Amino acid sequence: MANSIKVRAKTTSGVTVVKTLINHPMETGLRKDKKTNQMIPAHFIQEVTCEHNGNNVLTAQWGTAVSKNPYLSFKFSGGKSGDTLKISWVDNKGKSDSIESKIK
């Protein structure tokens, strides 16, 4: 799922606001396919992490209750314009993606 993450990060007065949008189906495993009447297997993001200049600033453990194409926004202190952020996720099927971005 290359390029499944969009990220924007901006720092103001020492506080960095990060906004992400992840393209992922986030299936609970509780829905049936209307055409086949078979259960759709669970497929969801289990962990999202954010690193700022190589240091972990966020680890989120997710489950089946998170909606399709999830949006995540969070803040942290200490970021500066031009610093590097790396956002990564791993799902229950072992798939993963990551992206690096600069803080504005």
Domain 5-102 has CATH 2.60.40.10: yes
Whole-structure pTM value: 0.92
Position 17 pLDDT exceeds 80:
yes
Q: What does pLDDT average to over the chain? A: 96
Residue recorded with tokens 């954010």: 50
Average pLDDT over residues 22-47: 96
Q: How many CB atoms lie within 10 A of CB 79?
A: 23
DSSP conformational letter for 69: S
